[in-house]
Structure 1
Amino acid sequence: MKLRPGFVVELAVNFLLPWLAYRLALPHLGETGALIASAVPPIVWSLIELARFRRVDALSVMVVAGIVLSVAAMALGGSPRMLLLRESLVSGAVGVVFLLSLPMRRPLIFYLARATVAREMAGGAAHFETLWRERPSLAIAMRKMTLVWGAGLTGETALRAWMALTWPIERFLVVSPFVGYGIYGGLALWTLWYRKTLRNRADARTQPDGIAS
Protein backbone atom coordinates (compact mmCIF):
# COMPACT_ATOMS: atom_id res chain seq x y z
CA MET A 1 0.00 0.00 0.00
CA LYS A 2 1.33 3.43 -0.93
CA LEU A 3 1.51 6.01 1.84
CA ARG A 4 -0.96 8.59 0.57
CA PRO A 5 -1.28 11.96 2.35
CA GLY A 6 -4.77 11.16 3.64
CA PHE A 7 -3.59 7.89 5.15
CA VAL A 8 -0.61 9.58 6.83
CA VAL A 9 -2.93 12.23 8.31
CA GLU A 10 -5.27 9.51 9.58
CA LEU A 11 -2.39 7.70 11.32
CA ALA A 12 -1.11 10.95 12.84
CA VAL A 13 -4.53 11.95 14.19
CA ASN A 14 -5.31 8.53 15.63
CA PHE A 15 -1.91 7.56 17.03
CA LEU A 16 0.64 10.40 17.14
CA LEU A 17 -1.64 13.18 18.41
CA PRO A 18 -3.23 11.03 21.17
CA TRP A 19 0.26 10.14 22.39
CA LEU A 20 1.35 13.79 22.36
CA ALA A 21 -1.82 14.85 24.18
CA TYR A 22 -1.22 12.17 26.80
CA ARG A 23 2.42 13.18 27.38
CA LEU A 24 1.58 16.90 27.60
CA ALA A 25 -1.40 16.40 29.93
CA LEU A 26 0.19 13.80 32.23
CA PRO A 27 2.16 16.23 34.49
CA HIS A 28 -0.89 18.45 34.96
CA LEU A 29 -3.91 16.11 34.97
CA GLY A 30 -2.55 12.77 36.18
CA GLU A 31 -2.87 9.48 34.32
CA THR A 32 -6.67 9.38 34.15
CA GLY A 33 -6.93 12.97 32.96
CA ALA A 34 -4.15 12.41 30.43
CA LEU A 35 -5.95 9.36 29.01
CA ILE A 36 -9.13 11.40 28.63
CA ALA A 37 -7.15 14.18 26.91
CA SER A 38 -5.64 11.66 24.50
CA ALA A 39 -9.15 10.81 23.27
CA VAL A 40 -9.76 14.40 22.07
CA PRO A 41 -7.89 14.22 18.68
CA PRO A 42 -9.64 11.07 17.37
CA ILE A 43 -13.02 12.33 18.63
CA VAL A 44 -12.58 15.68 16.85
CA TRP A 45 -11.38 13.89 13.71
CA SER A 46 -14.39 11.58 13.79
CA LEU A 47 -16.74 14.57 14.10
CA ILE A 48 -15.04 16.26 11.14
CA GLU A 49 -15.40 13.08 9.07
CA LEU A 50 -19.06 12.85 10.06
CA ALA A 51 -19.68 16.44 8.99
CA ARG A 52 -17.80 16.08 5.70
CA PHE A 53 -18.77 12.60 4.53
CA ARG A 54 -21.74 11.66 6.77
CA ARG A 55 -19.89 8.63 8.14
CA VAL A 56 -18.05 7.82 11.37
CA ASP A 57 -14.35 7.03 11.09
CA ALA A 58 -13.98 3.37 12.12
CA LEU A 59 -10.33 3.64 13.17
CA SER A 60 -11.04 6.64 15.38
CA VAL A 61 -13.91 4.77 17.05
CA MET A 62 -11.58 1.85 17.82
CA VAL A 63 -8.90 4.15 19.26
CA VAL A 64 -11.42 5.98 21.45
CA ALA A 65 -12.91 2.66 22.59
CA GLY A 66 -9.45 1.50 23.65
CA ILE A 67 -8.88 4.68 25.65
CA VAL A 68 -12.29 4.36 27.32
CA LEU A 69 -11.47 0.77 28.30
CA SER A 70 -8.16 1.92 29.77
CA VAL A 71 -9.92 4.53 31.91
CA ALA A 72 -12.52 1.95 32.99
CA ALA A 73 -9.80 -0.53 33.93
CA MET A 74 -8.12 2.12 36.08
CA ALA A 75 -11.44 2.81 37.79
CA LEU A 76 -11.75 -0.87 38.72
CA GLY A 77 -8.74 -0.67 40.95
CA GLY A 78 -5.11 0.28 41.13
CA SER A 79 -3.58 -3.02 42.21
CA PRO A 80 -0.37 -3.98 40.38
CA ARG A 81 -2.00 -6.98 38.70
CA MET A 82 -4.97 -4.94 37.50
CA LEU A 83 -2.60 -2.39 36.00
CA LEU A 84 -0.78 -5.21 34.22
CA LEU A 85 -4.08 -6.38 32.74
CA ARG A 86 -5.15 -2.91 31.59
CA GLU A 87 -3.22 -2.94 28.31
CA SER A 88 -4.41 -6.44 27.43
CA LEU A 89 -8.06 -5.50 27.96
CA VAL A 90 -7.96 -3.13 25.01
CA SER A 91 -6.66 -5.62 22.44
CA GLY A 92 -8.93 -8.31 23.89
CA ALA A 93 -12.00 -6.14 23.52
CA VAL A 94 -11.09 -5.40 19.91
CA GLY A 95 -10.60 -9.12 19.28
CA VAL A 96 -14.00 -9.95 20.75
CA VAL A 97 -15.65 -7.27 18.58
CA PHE A 98 -13.98 -8.79 15.51
CA LEU A 99 -15.36 -12.23 16.38
CA LEU A 100 -18.85 -10.91 17.20
CA SER A 101 -18.98 -9.19 13.81
CA LEU A 102 -18.47 -12.47 11.93
CA PRO A 103 -22.17 -13.50 11.85
CA MET A 104 -23.18 -10.05 10.65
CA ARG A 105 -23.81 -9.25 7.00
CA ARG A 106 -20.57 -7.28 6.94
CA PRO A 107 -17.71 -8.04 9.35
CA LEU A 108 -15.72 -5.31 11.07
CA ILE A 109 -12.79 -5.45 8.64
CA PHE A 110 -15.18 -4.49 5.83
CA TYR A 111 -15.76 -1.08 7.43
CA LEU A 112 -12.07 -0.55 8.17
CA ALA A 113 -11.14 -1.43 4.59
CA ARG A 114 -13.91 0.70 3.11
CA ALA A 115 -12.86 3.72 5.18
CA THR A 116 -9.26 3.31 3.95
CA VAL A 117 -10.30 2.99 0.29
CA ALA A 118 -12.62 6.01 0.63
CA ARG A 119 -9.64 8.15 1.61
CA GLU A 120 -7.39 6.83 -1.13
CA MET A 121 -9.62 7.54 -4.15
CA ALA A 122 -12.62 9.59 -5.15
CA GLY A 123 -15.75 7.48 -4.90
CA GLY A 124 -13.76 4.82 -3.11
CA ALA A 125 -16.57 3.83 -0.76
CA ALA A 126 -19.00 3.20 -3.61
CA HIS A 127 -16.34 1.30 -5.55
CA PHE A 128 -15.63 -0.91 -2.56
CA GLU A 129 -19.35 -1.56 -2.07
CA THR A 130 -19.57 -2.68 -5.71
CA LEU A 131 -16.61 -5.03 -5.32
CA TRP A 132 -18.21 -6.47 -2.19
CA ARG A 133 -21.44 -7.25 -4.06
CA GLU A 134 -19.88 -8.54 -7.26
CA ARG A 135 -16.96 -10.58 -5.90
CA PRO A 136 -17.92 -13.28 -3.39
CA SER A 137 -14.22 -14.08 -2.96
CA LEU A 138 -13.72 -10.64 -1.38
CA ALA A 139 -16.37 -11.33 1.26
CA ILE A 140 -14.81 -14.74 2.02
CA ALA A 141 -11.35 -13.20 2.35
CA MET A 142 -12.58 -10.44 4.67
CA ARG A 143 -14.37 -12.90 6.92
CA LYS A 144 -11.25 -15.05 7.11
CA MET A 145 -9.13 -12.03 8.03
CA THR A 146 -11.70 -11.00 10.64
CA LEU A 147 -11.61 -14.50 12.14
CA VAL A 148 -7.81 -14.72 12.24
CA TRP A 149 -7.35 -11.27 13.76
CA GLY A 150 -10.20 -11.76 16.23
CA ALA A 151 -8.84 -15.11 17.38
CA GLY A 152 -5.29 -13.79 17.51
CA LEU A 153 -6.11 -10.71 19.59
CA THR A 154 -8.42 -12.64 21.92
CA GLY A 155 -5.83 -15.38 22.37
CA GLU A 156 -3.10 -12.81 23.06
CA THR A 157 -5.25 -11.25 25.77
CA ALA A 158 -6.06 -14.61 27.36
CA LEU A 159 -2.38 -15.60 27.42
CA ARG A 160 -1.20 -12.29 28.86
CA ALA A 161 -4.01 -12.29 31.42
CA TRP A 162 -2.94 -15.74 32.61
CA MET A 163 0.66 -14.54 32.82
CA ALA A 164 -0.34 -11.39 34.73
CA LEU A 165 -2.40 -13.33 37.28
CA THR A 166 -0.04 -16.26 37.86
CA TRP A 167 3.52 -15.15 37.13
CA PRO A 168 5.72 -12.96 39.31
CA ILE A 169 5.34 -9.35 38.22
CA GLU A 170 9.02 -8.99 37.33
CA ARG A 171 8.90 -12.01 35.01
CA PHE A 172 5.73 -10.72 33.39
CA LEU A 173 7.29 -7.32 32.67
CA VAL A 174 10.25 -8.99 30.96
CA VAL A 175 8.40 -11.59 28.88
CA SER A 176 5.07 -9.88 28.13
CA PRO A 177 6.33 -7.40 25.47
CA PHE A 178 7.89 -10.25 23.49
CA VAL A 179 4.62 -12.18 23.62
CA GLY A 180 2.51 -9.20 22.56
CA TYR A 181 4.74 -7.96 19.75
CA GLY A 182 5.39 -11.53 18.61
CA ILE A 183 1.67 -12.18 18.16
CA TYR A 184 1.05 -8.81 16.50
CA GLY A 185 4.01 -9.37 14.18
CA GLY A 186 2.76 -12.85 13.32
CA LEU A 187 -0.70 -11.50 12.48
CA ALA A 188 0.79 -8.75 10.33
CA LEU A 189 3.04 -11.19 8.44
CA TRP A 190 0.12 -13.56 7.89
CA THR A 191 -1.96 -10.67 6.53
CA LEU A 192 0.78 -9.68 4.08
CA TRP A 193 1.16 -13.30 2.95
CA TYR A 194 -2.59 -13.75 2.57
CA ARG A 195 -2.95 -10.56 0.55
CA LYS A 196 -0.12 -11.64 -1.73
CA THR A 197 -1.72 -15.06 -2.18
CA LEU A 198 -5.07 -13.50 -3.09
CA ARG A 199 -3.39 -11.14 -5.55
CA ASN A 200 -1.53 -14.00 -7.22
CA ARG A 201 -4.75 -15.98 -7.57
CA ALA A 202 -6.51 -12.97 -9.11
CA ASP A 203 -3.64 -12.43 -11.56
CA ALA A 204 -3.68 -16.12 -12.50
CA ARG A 205 -7.41 -15.97 -13.27
CA THR A 206 -6.97 -12.97 -15.56
CA GLN A 207 -4.15 -14.53 -17.60
CA PRO A 208 -5.10 -16.09 -20.96
CA ASP A 209 -4.76 -19.86 -21.21
CA GLY A 210 -1.29 -21.03 -22.00
CA ILE A 211 0.53 -17.92 -20.78
CA ALA A 212 0.91 -19.04 -17.15
CA SER A 213 4.37 -20.38 -17.95
Structure 2
Amino acid sequence: MKLRSGFVAELAVNFVLPWLAYRLALPHLGETRALLASAAPPVIWSLVELARFRRVDALSVMVVAGIVLSVGAMALGGSPRMLLLRESLVSGAVGVAFLLSLGMRRPLIFYLARATVAREMEGGAQRFEALWRERPAVVSSMRLMTVVWGIGLTAEILLRAWLAMTWPIERFLAMSPFIGYGIYGALALWTLHYRRTMRRRAEEPVEAAPSAS
Protein backbone atom coordinates (compact mmCIF):
# COMPACT_ATOMS: atom_id res chain seq x y z
CA MET A 1 0.00 0.00 0.00
CA LYS A 2 1.43 3.37 -0.97
CA LEU A 3 1.85 5.80 1.92
CA ARG A 4 -0.11 8.82 0.79
CA SER A 5 -0.37 12.01 2.83
CA GLY A 6 -3.98 11.35 3.82
CA PHE A 7 -3.15 7.87 5.08
CA VAL A 8 -0.15 9.15 7.07
CA ALA A 9 -2.33 11.88 8.59
CA GLU A 10 -4.95 9.32 9.57
CA LEU A 11 -2.35 7.13 11.29
CA ALA A 12 -0.96 10.16 13.14
CA VAL A 13 -4.38 11.31 14.33
CA ASN A 14 -5.54 7.88 15.44
CA PHE A 15 -2.34 6.55 17.02
CA VAL A 16 0.40 9.14 17.54
CA LEU A 17 -1.74 12.04 18.80
CA PRO A 18 -3.79 9.91 21.24
CA TRP A 19 -0.56 8.55 22.74
CA LEU A 20 0.91 12.04 22.95
CA ALA A 21 -2.24 13.45 24.55
CA TYR A 22 -2.24 10.61 27.09
CA ARG A 23 1.43 11.12 28.03
CA LEU A 24 1.00 14.90 28.41
CA ALA A 25 -2.21 14.64 30.43
CA LEU A 26 -1.19 11.74 32.69
CA PRO A 27 0.92 13.71 35.23
CA HIS A 28 -1.78 16.35 35.64
CA LEU A 29 -5.11 14.51 35.26
CA GLY A 30 -4.49 10.92 36.30
CA GLU A 31 -4.90 7.78 34.22
CA THR A 32 -8.67 7.84 33.70
CA ARG A 33 -8.88 11.47 32.59
CA ALA A 34 -5.72 11.07 30.52
CA LEU A 35 -7.36 8.21 28.64
CA LEU A 36 -10.40 10.39 28.02
CA ALA A 37 -8.12 13.18 26.77
CA SER A 38 -6.47 10.73 24.36
CA ALA A 39 -9.84 10.19 22.69
CA ALA A 40 -10.03 13.85 21.60
CA PRO A 41 -7.90 13.63 18.39
CA PRO A 42 -9.79 10.68 16.79
CA VAL A 43 -13.15 12.15 17.85
CA ILE A 44 -12.32 15.51 16.25
CA TRP A 45 -10.98 13.76 13.13
CA SER A 46 -14.14 11.69 12.84
CA LEU A 47 -16.32 14.81 13.12
CA VAL A 48 -14.26 16.55 10.42
CA GLU A 49 -14.59 13.50 8.14
CA LEU A 50 -18.33 13.47 8.76
CA ALA A 51 -18.64 17.17 7.92
CA ARG A 52 -16.46 16.97 4.79
CA PHE A 53 -17.44 13.62 3.27
CA ARG A 54 -20.66 12.67 5.10
CA ARG A 55 -19.02 9.48 6.40
CA VAL A 56 -17.68 8.29 9.74
CA ASP A 57 -14.05 7.17 9.77
CA ALA A 58 -14.12 3.49 10.80
CA LEU A 59 -10.59 3.49 12.20
CA SER A 60 -11.33 6.46 14.46
CA VAL A 61 -14.47 4.78 15.75
CA MET A 62 -12.51 1.63 16.64
CA VAL A 63 -9.79 3.64 18.40
CA VAL A 64 -12.33 5.62 20.44
CA ALA A 65 -14.20 2.42 21.30
CA GLY A 66 -10.96 0.91 22.56
CA ILE A 67 -10.27 3.91 24.77
CA VAL A 68 -13.80 3.83 26.19
CA LEU A 69 -13.46 0.12 26.94
CA SER A 70 -10.15 0.76 28.69
CA VAL A 71 -11.81 3.36 30.91
CA GLY A 72 -14.66 0.93 31.59
CA ALA A 73 -12.22 -1.82 32.52
CA MET A 74 -10.53 0.52 35.00
CA ALA A 75 -13.91 1.36 36.53
CA LEU A 76 -14.62 -2.34 37.08
CA GLY A 77 -11.66 -2.62 39.40
CA GLY A 78 -7.94 -2.38 39.59
CA SER A 79 -7.07 -5.95 40.49
CA PRO A 80 -3.90 -7.26 38.81
CA ARG A 81 -5.73 -9.98 36.89
CA MET A 82 -8.36 -7.53 35.64
CA LEU A 83 -5.63 -5.20 34.41
CA LEU A 84 -4.05 -8.11 32.53
CA LEU A 85 -7.16 -8.30 30.36
CA ARG A 86 -7.64 -4.58 29.81
CA GLU A 87 -5.90 -4.43 26.43
CA SER A 88 -7.58 -7.61 25.19
CA LEU A 89 -11.05 -6.22 25.89
CA VAL A 90 -10.72 -4.03 22.82
CA SER A 91 -9.90 -6.83 20.40
CA GLY A 92 -12.51 -9.07 22.01
CA ALA A 93 -15.22 -6.43 21.62
CA VAL A 94 -14.22 -5.89 17.98
CA GLY A 95 -14.38 -9.65 17.38
CA VAL A 96 -17.88 -9.87 18.82
CA ALA A 97 -18.92 -6.81 16.78
CA PHE A 98 -17.64 -8.49 13.61
CA LEU A 99 -19.69 -11.61 14.31
CA LEU A 100 -22.81 -9.60 15.14
CA SER A 101 -22.41 -7.57 11.94
CA LEU A 102 -22.95 -10.74 9.90
CA GLY A 103 -26.65 -10.14 10.49
CA MET A 104 -26.38 -6.76 8.76
CA ARG A 105 -26.70 -6.13 5.03
CA ARG A 106 -23.01 -5.20 4.99
CA PRO A 107 -20.60 -6.58 7.59
CA LEU A 108 -18.05 -4.37 9.34
CA ILE A 109 -15.19 -5.70 7.23
CA PHE A 110 -16.87 -4.12 4.21
CA TYR A 111 -16.55 -0.62 5.68
CA LEU A 112 -12.94 -1.17 6.76
CA ALA A 113 -12.02 -2.55 3.33
CA ARG A 114 -13.80 0.29 1.54
CA ALA A 115 -11.93 2.87 3.64
CA THR A 116 -8.62 1.16 2.78
CA VAL A 117 -9.36 1.10 -0.95
CA ALA A 118 -10.48 4.74 -0.84
CA ARG A 119 -7.09 5.69 0.58
CA GLU A 120 -5.17 3.63 -1.97
CA MET A 121 -6.70 4.99 -5.18
CA GLU A 122 -8.73 7.87 -6.52
CA GLY A 123 -12.39 6.90 -6.67
CA GLY A 124 -11.62 3.69 -4.77
CA ALA A 125 -14.75 3.86 -2.63
CA GLN A 126 -17.04 4.08 -5.67
CA ARG A 127 -15.19 1.22 -7.36
CA PHE A 128 -15.50 -0.92 -4.26
CA GLU A 129 -19.23 -0.18 -4.03
CA ALA A 130 -19.61 -1.25 -7.67
CA LEU A 131 -17.72 -4.50 -7.02
CA TRP A 132 -19.98 -5.20 -4.05
CA ARG A 133 -23.10 -4.74 -6.18
CA GLU A 134 -21.89 -6.57 -9.29
CA ARG A 135 -19.78 -9.46 -8.00
CA PRO A 136 -21.34 -11.97 -5.59
CA ALA A 137 -17.85 -13.43 -5.01
CA VAL A 138 -16.77 -10.16 -3.36
CA VAL A 139 -19.79 -10.28 -1.04
CA SER A 140 -19.05 -13.85 0.04
CA SER A 141 -15.37 -12.96 0.47
CA MET A 142 -16.18 -10.04 2.76
CA ARG A 143 -18.44 -12.21 4.86
CA LEU A 144 -15.82 -14.95 5.10
CA MET A 145 -13.22 -12.42 6.24
CA THR A 146 -15.67 -11.14 8.85
CA VAL A 147 -16.19 -14.67 10.16
CA VAL A 148 -12.47 -15.45 10.32
CA TRP A 149 -11.51 -12.21 12.08
CA GLY A 150 -14.52 -12.35 14.38
CA ILE A 151 -13.74 -15.89 15.51
CA GLY A 152 -10.01 -15.17 15.77
CA LEU A 153 -10.36 -12.03 17.90
CA THR A 154 -13.06 -13.58 20.09
CA ALA A 155 -10.96 -16.70 20.62
CA GLU A 156 -8.00 -14.49 21.56
CA ILE A 157 -9.84 -12.77 24.43
CA LEU A 158 -11.32 -16.06 25.64
CA LEU A 159 -7.89 -17.71 25.67
CA ARG A 160 -6.29 -14.74 27.42
CA ALA A 161 -9.08 -14.63 30.01
CA TRP A 162 -8.64 -18.32 30.84
CA LEU A 163 -4.88 -17.99 31.08
CA ALA A 164 -5.10 -14.80 33.17
CA MET A 165 -7.33 -16.54 35.69
CA THR A 166 -5.41 -19.82 35.87
CA TRP A 167 -1.74 -19.02 35.25
CA PRO A 168 0.62 -17.21 37.61
CA ILE A 169 0.85 -13.53 36.70
CA GLU A 170 4.56 -13.76 35.87
CA ARG A 171 4.00 -16.60 33.42
CA PHE A 172 1.08 -14.79 31.79
CA LEU A 173 3.14 -11.62 31.32
CA ALA A 174 5.94 -13.65 29.72
CA MET A 175 3.74 -15.63 27.35
CA SER A 176 0.98 -13.12 26.58
CA PRO A 177 2.87 -11.23 23.81
CA PHE A 178 3.60 -14.48 21.96
CA ILE A 179 -0.07 -15.48 22.16
CA GLY A 180 -1.37 -12.13 20.98
CA TYR A 181 1.14 -11.55 18.20
CA GLY A 182 0.82 -15.17 17.11
CA ILE A 183 -2.94 -14.89 16.64
CA TYR A 184 -2.75 -11.44 15.01
CA GLY A 185 0.10 -12.57 12.78
CA ALA A 186 -1.83 -15.62 11.62
CA LEU A 187 -4.91 -13.49 10.89
CA ALA A 188 -2.83 -10.90 9.03
CA LEU A 189 -1.04 -13.48 6.88
CA TRP A 190 -4.31 -15.17 6.03
CA THR A 191 -5.82 -11.77 5.15
CA LEU A 192 -2.91 -10.86 2.85
CA HIS A 193 -3.22 -14.18 1.04
CA TYR A 194 -6.97 -13.91 0.77
CA ARG A 195 -6.81 -10.27 -0.34
CA ARG A 196 -4.60 -11.27 -3.26
CA THR A 197 -7.22 -13.86 -4.18
CA MET A 198 -9.97 -11.23 -3.99
CA ARG A 199 -7.94 -8.80 -6.10
CA ARG A 200 -7.46 -11.42 -8.81
CA ARG A 201 -11.19 -12.07 -8.80
CA ALA A 202 -11.93 -8.34 -9.02
CA GLU A 203 -9.60 -7.93 -12.00
CA GLU A 204 -11.17 -10.79 -13.92
CA PRO A 205 -13.49 -9.53 -16.69
CA VAL A 206 -17.17 -10.13 -16.12
CA GLU A 207 -18.37 -12.68 -18.63
CA ALA A 208 -21.23 -11.49 -20.73
CA ALA A 209 -24.43 -13.49 -20.47
CA PRO A 210 -24.90 -15.85 -23.47
CA SER A 211 -27.37 -14.52 -25.96
CA ALA A 212 -30.46 -16.56 -26.66
CA SER A 213 -30.28 -18.39 -29.93
TM over 0.5: yes
Q: 1:200 Cα shift? A: 4.2
Distance 1:128 1:197 in 2: 15
Aligned-partner SS, 1:116: helix
Aligned-partner SS, 2:85: helix
- Partner residue, 2:45: 45
Aligned-partner SS, 1:106: coil
- Partner residue, 1:125: 125
Q: Structure 2 counterpart of 1:83, which letter? A: L
Q: 1:29 Cα shift? A: 1.3
Give the fraction of aligned pairs with identical amino acids, expressed as a percent. Answer: 80
**Alpha-carbon contact 2:95-2:154 (below 8 Å) kept:** yes
TM-score (norm 1): 0.91
- Post-superposition CA distance 1:40-97 (Å, at most 9, x none): 1100000100110111111101110010000001001111111111111111000000
TM-score (norm 2): 0.91
Alignment map for 1:27-42 (pairs within 5 Å):
27-42=27-42
Alignment map for 1:136-155 (pairs within 5 Å):
136-155=136-155
**Alpha-carbon contact 1:22-1:35 (below 8 Å) kept:** yes
Distance 2:83 2:134 in 1: 47
Cα gap change, 1:204 to 1:46, in 2 (>3 Å): closer
**Alpha-carbon contact 2:149-2:187 (below 8 Å) kept:** yes
- Partner residue, 1:210: none
Q: Structure 2 counterpart of 1:161, which letter? A: A
Identify unmatched segments of 5+ residues in structure 1: 207-213
Alignment map for 1:1-213 (pairs within 5 Å):
1-201=1-201
Distance 1:3 1:138 in 2: 25
Q: Structure 1 counterpart of 2:48, which letter? A: I
Distance 2:199 2:110 in 1: 18
**Alpha-carbon contact 2:2-2:120 (below 8 Å) kept:** no
**Alpha-carbon contact 1:6-1:120 (below 8 Å) kept:** no
How many residue pairs get aligned? The number is 206
